[in-house]
Amino acid sequence: MSINLSIVQKYDLEAYTLEQAQQEDVQQLLDVCAQNIGAVNEDQITKAFKLCYLSHNGVTRASGEPYYYHPVEVAKIVAQEINIDDISVIAALLHDTVEDTDIGLDQIRQWFGNEVAIIIDGVTKITGVFKTRDSKQAETFMKLLLSMAEDIRVILIKFADRLHNMRTIQHLRREKQIQIASETMDLYAPLAHRFGLFTIKNELEDLCFKTIDPTSFKFVARKLREKKESREAYIDELMMPVGRQLAEQNLSFEIKGRPKHIYSIYRKMQRQQKPFEEIYDLFAIRIILEEPHTKEDCWRVYSIITDWYTPIPERFRDFISVPKANGYQSLHTTVITNRGKKIEVQIRTRKMDNIAERGLAAHWKYKEGEQSGSDTLDRFVSWVREVLDNPRPDSSTDFVKDFQLNLYQEEIYVFTPKGELRTLPFNATPIDFAFEIHSEVGERAMAAKVNDKMVPLRHKLRNGDQVEIITGSKINLNPDWMDDVVTHKAKSRIRQFIKQKQRKVADIGREIWEKRCAKAKLDITDQELTRVARKFKYESTQGLFFDLGSGSIELATVFKEAKKFKSTGKIDTEEDQIQDAQNISTEQVHQKYFDAARSYGQGNALILNGDISHVKYTYANCCSPIPGDEVLGFISRNGDVKIHRSMCNNAQHLLKNEGDRIIDVKWAKSIDSKFLGAIRVIGEDRVGMINDITDVLSKSLSTNMKSINVSSDEGMFEGIITLYVDGIAHLDKIMKRLERLQGVKNVLRYE
């Protein structure tokens, strides 16, 4: 190990004395550690604080605050909200030093030991894992996975780092906010879910939602605040008789109402197309049994609750006997109250609650004293190793898609013929099950039996199924299975198989091509041939060679074009011009729109006012944004801008795959244009209802309709109305006015 003596001399940590303000900062951190972790090495934490302060001295964040505030806040999150150990706190304080300062891992190892150095190395970003230019996000996640296999504290510190960045995201440019929030929503929040860190997952989702669509966030938050007092009173009334009976049986417990987090409520409103008032499970009642109560006591509590209130059988879930893959344990039941309302009740022990809230972190804390905690940690690490052991995709896009597959899905539980339990994602097939057992079983799968009956390999498995895979002596992989499997392991192996087949065919195509060129003495490079390939709409020569090998394109046709290109030196086609547009750097494209935006006096934001000659933009038909909506701009490959609503599904897809082409857009204060909006009206199918609706729109509100589509069933009707509006305020006015009509039950903006 080589030590840079100049660095050691520059940062003389033993001799350096902190100023009064920094002494207060470090004492505050030590107090948080004492309250949440217990015994810690205060000298080492203070030493790490000194290095953090000195190495980042003079550097500021986008907010203008000294940069060292960030690692200190991350360390506080690690101590207070994740609370593992002092090693993690030290690593959190120093997590940016190796990447952003002149301090290397050798110095960290010398001052703080190998354990801290390994964790910091894991948190530090690296390059070179993927060959593609757009692979930075995937590189970071692959690094995290590699490091987690050594020490799971790496991911816990990374979560704390991302959480603090999201809490302070308002200081960044709008397009940068959207990029970071989208990455967080797509990868960090699902990963937190996969590791059972539900408290962090929920806050990350809410912060992302607040960033991407602040208007909708504020609406749901306000509705929750308005209902808080009545909700708490209702819980007290509901649980009073239950609590009395629990106390009579000498059970030590806590009862609390847990409101669903804001983003989950919004998603439910969108999915069910219902207003806030009609979402019945806005909160759940949680009954937590204190130690030393056990899972048997949880069943006693369930019995008492169902004595008082009628349970809904299909809404019962026993996650105690069969925990989720992330270790989550609890009894869930939904009951009908005396008022006829549905309420979800969760029953668990204090240890189960700690694991439910803090997942991986709680298991890490429990691992030393109990074998069960260690077993669960082993399952987490096994999952990480499985991701790493599978064939790595060639592109970062494929990697991120594969990585997301098993993070956020509902789970089913199935059994092997010997009765062993296996957890699979919802919609898994026998093919997924076969790969879950072993790669060779998946590769040689010929047929399947589910509950002793033969079923197709594409059959969707259900909870409780017993599955048997019948294998052959040879590999039986089918490329068509790609659309039928949902697990990372199965998709990775099938994709590898497809690429192997394609590579063999492409090799044949290349050989055919080279023989033809040699015969005609045509000397053309791969770079030149790439331009010829684009003439035929191929992204690369590999696709061209594949079609030559499979006979999908005539050799003579390609050769003629290549010979022509070699003699003239150019291919003047529409495809070539489009490719030139694609080759414009992101920085150049952004600069064009920043210049246009600045000409309107709005910093880097493109102003939408219906008529800007400098910039060509259109509104996306998929979400029909109107003034007042939170919107994003995406630079298309031909240089135009497409405007989407922030929470539009297509916008979310673009953020995942082409986040570098986002630009900030804002509505002008006044726009003299009409925009298409849509509403969904549900009500009683009475005579004259449609006439009343059209009268309100045309006479009372002077609003023009484009179309109305109405269907009725069992005395109820549903209408989708498309109309021209000035903006979101106009649309809200229309919805509120229609809600006052006799027989109208629901008016919602139509997604």
Residue at a domain's end among 549, 582, 615 = 582
Q: Pick from 316, 338, 321, 320: which is nearest to 330 by CA?
A: 320
Residues 6+ apart with CB under 8 A from 78: 84, 88, 89, 92, 156, 157, 160
Average pLDDT over residues 576-598: 49
Instruction: Give the residue, 467 or 373, on which the prediction is more confident.
Output: 467
- Which of the four pLDDT bands, split at 50, 70 and 90, describes residue 569? low
Out of 54-63, 176-185, 579-588, 693-702, least confident range = 579-588
Q: Which of 100, 106, 115, 134 is catalytic?
A: 100
Number of domains present in the structure of the chain:
5
DSSP character for 610? S
pLDDT, position 565 = 82
Q: Provide DSSP, 196-208.
A: T-HHHHHHHHHHH
pLDDT, position 428 = 92
Match 């010979």 to its residue by tokens. 563
Cα gap 308→298, rounded to integer Å: 16
Report yes or no on 284 lying in a domain: yes
CB-based contact 435:487 (threshold 8 Å): yes
Please indicate, yes or no, whether residues 243 and 311 belong to a single structural domain of this protein.
yes
> Rounded mean pLDDT of the chain?
80
Taking only the tens place, the pLDDT of each residue in 211-233 is: 988 888 988 898 888 888 888 88
Helices H / strands E in the chain, number of each: 31, 21
The enclosing domain of 272 has a CATH number of 3.30.460.10
Report yes or no on 709 lying in a domain: yes
Task: Give whichever of 176-180, 269-273, 392-396, 611-615 has the largest mean pLDDT.
Answer: 176-180
Report yes or no on 418 lying in a domain: no
Cα gap 548→550, rounded to integer Å: 6
Please indicate, yes or no, whether residues 184 and 292 belong to a single structural domain of this protein.
no
Residues 6+ apart with CB under 8 A from 714: none
Match 């948190």 to its residue by tokens. 123
Taking only the tens place, the pLDDT of each residue in 356-411 is: 888 777 776 666 545 444 566 666 666 666 655 555 555 555 555 555 655 655 77
Please indicate, yes or no, whether residues 157 and 33 belong to a single structural domain of this protein.
yes
Please indicate, yes or no, whether residues 712 and 577 belong to a single structural domain of this protein.
no
The enclosing domain of 686 has a CATH number of 3.30.70.260
Q: pTM (2 decimals)? A: 0.71
Dihedrals φ, ψ of 684, to 5°?
A: -75, 140
What's at 305, amino acid-wise?
A: I
Please indicate, yes or no, whether residues 54 and 25 belong to a single structural domain of this protein.
yes
Match 């597959």 to its residue by tokens. 405
Residues 158-170, buried b or exposed e (16+ Cβ, 10 A)? bbbbbbbbbebbe
What is the strand order of the sheet 705-713 is part of? 705-713, 716-725, 675-684, 744-749
Please indicate, yes or no, whether residues 140 and 269 belong to a single structural domain of this protein.
no
Average pLDDT over residues 261-289: 83
Please indicate, yes or no, whether residues 162 and 80 belong to a single structural domain of this protein.
yes
Between the alpha carbon of residue 31 and those of residues 80, 253, 665, the distances in Å are 10, 29, 44
Out of 264-278, 541-555, 579-593, 657-671, least confident range = 579-593
Taking only the tens place, the pLDDT of each residue in 415-426 is: 888 888 788 888
Report yes or no on 393 lying in a domain: no
Report yes or no on 486 lying in a domain: no
- Which of the four pLDDT bands, split at 50, 70 and 90, describes residue 600? very low
Cα gap 634→645, rounded to integer Å: 11
pLDDT, position 75 = 94
Residue at a domain's end among 366, 387, 410 = 366
Residues 6+ apart with CB under 8 A from 145: 384, 387, 388
Cα gap 194→467, rounded to integer Å: 25
pLDDT, position 466 = 92
Average pLDDT over residues 10-17: 74
3-state secondary structure of 445: strand
- Which of the four pLDDT bands, split at 50, 70 and 90, describes residue 593? low
Report yes or no on 335 lying in a domain: yes
The enclosing domain of 126 has a CATH number of 1.10.3210.10
Please indicate, yes or no, whether residues 230 and 348 belong to a single structural domain of this protein.
yes
Cα gap 385→380, rounded to integer Å: 9
Report yes or no on 572 lying in a domain: yes
How would you classify the pairing of strands 606-608 and 665-667? parallel
3-state secondary structure of 720: strand
DSSP character for 60? B
Taking only the tens place, the pLDDT of each residue in 543-560 is: 888 888 888 888 888 888
pLDDT, position 583 = 47
- Which of the four pLDDT bands, split at 50, 70 and 90, describes residue 477? confident
Report yes or no on 466 lying in a domain: no
Out of 636-640, 643-647, 699-703, least confident range = 636-640
For residue 479, whether the previous peptide bond is cis, meaning omega lies within 30 degrees of 0, is no
Average pLDDT over residues 657-686: 79
- Indicate if 575 belongs to the active site: no
Residue at a domain's end among 613, 646, 667 = 667
pLDDT, position 128 = 32
Q: Which of 12, 24, 31, 99 is catalytic?
A: 99
pLDDT, position 399 = 57
Taking only the tens place, the pLDDT of each residue in 302-353 is: 999 999 999 998 889 898 988 877 778 899 999 998 888 888 899 999 988 9
CB-based contact 163:203 (threshold 8 Å): yes
- Indicate if 739 belongs to the active site: no
CB-based contact 617:643 (threshold 8 Å): yes
Please indicate, yes or no, whether residues 718 and 689 belong to a single structural domain of this protein.
yes
Per DSSP (E only), the strands in 522-614 are 606-608
- Residue 612 pLDDT > 60: no
Alpha helices in 641-706 (DSSP H): 649-658, 689-695
Count, residues in the chain = 751
What's at 67, amino acid-wise?
A: Y
Please indicate, yes or no, whether residues 62 and 178 belong to a single structural domain of this protein.
yes
Helix (H) or strand (E) run with residue 470 in it: strand 467-471
Please indicate, yes or no, whether residues 197 and 241 belong to a single structural domain of this protein.
no
Domain enclosing residue 730, as ranges: 675-749
Please indicate, yes or no, whether residues 262 and 293 belong to a single structural domain of this protein.
yes
